[in-house]
Structure 1
Amino acid sequence: MRKTDDPEAFSRDVAQALFSWDTTTMVGRDDHIEQLVKVGDPTGESTAGLLSDLEGYLPTDDAWLDLAQYETKQWLTINSIATPSKWAEAEAQAGSALLPGTTAFTIHGVRHRSGTWEGAPVASEHDVAFTMFIVCGPSYPECHLLRLSVLDDPLD
């Protein structure tokens, strides 16, 4: 993922990295997790929480192996990225606990999957929604991923 100080561009890149994977490549589940943790909280304070959050987004190791048998690929079409209407309330409640430049974006999109079943191509689409919490400038010269909401339970 590219480094950027643009919160919306960063959120778009993270969303794509989170949902775009292909079990037919040598890039595995752990590689995806590592890629997202690399752009995570530079202090490490949110890392354990982020790792836990990622468990709800990526297939387990066993599921990954099962999906590989079906040549499964996944990607995301983003329909909207917006600051949640409740973000100002959350910021007020957090007070000085949030670093300057901390923000949230709720993403609505469609998760696409394709693969093969008994030798024939198959595909599915499912609406998804989630919120990512990030921190950018002035606290850091580029944006960092802090946490993710539960999948399909975004901050509105």
Structure 2
Amino acid sequence: MSYFEKFLKTNQAYADLHGTAHLPIKPKTQVAIVTCMDSRLHVAQALGLALGDAHILRNAGGRVTDDMIRSLVISQQQLGTREIVVLHHTDCGAQTFTNDAFADQLQRDLGVDVHGHDFLPFTDVEESVREDMAILRQSPLIPDDVNISGAVYDVDTGRMTEVI
């Protein structure tokens, strides 16, 4: 049995408990969280969020990319969010490679030349949060009155530390 087949069975049990409550399309807290895809970070539980509370946007490294900004603009302009939290974490996979080394690996393994492509690796997790907050603050698509905060989540302790 594949994991997907297991997910379908598990989902049926979840749906039975979920009921038929219709949550509003707009997030209750008016917050969008930009974070990593890391499986050790359960954002809703870590921040005490329930279904319908916030938009949680995830990608490798939790980096602010053009597509992340696209999602944030929709979140704000169509769905009413007024705050953005950039949440990176310790021991991130984006800290384990460089662009050149990864491009070399992809050339070897896949026969594809992606030299010159930025996969957004980083070495300092706090600095990566600051960089992403700066990108958001400088974007003409993110209004000046949107509150932008940042933090680092420690995957070993579950604690979150604010980054200024």
TM range (shorter): under 0.3
Structure with higher helix content = 2
Structure with higher strand content = 1
Between the two structures, name the one with larger relative contact order (CA 8 Å, sep ≥ 6): 1
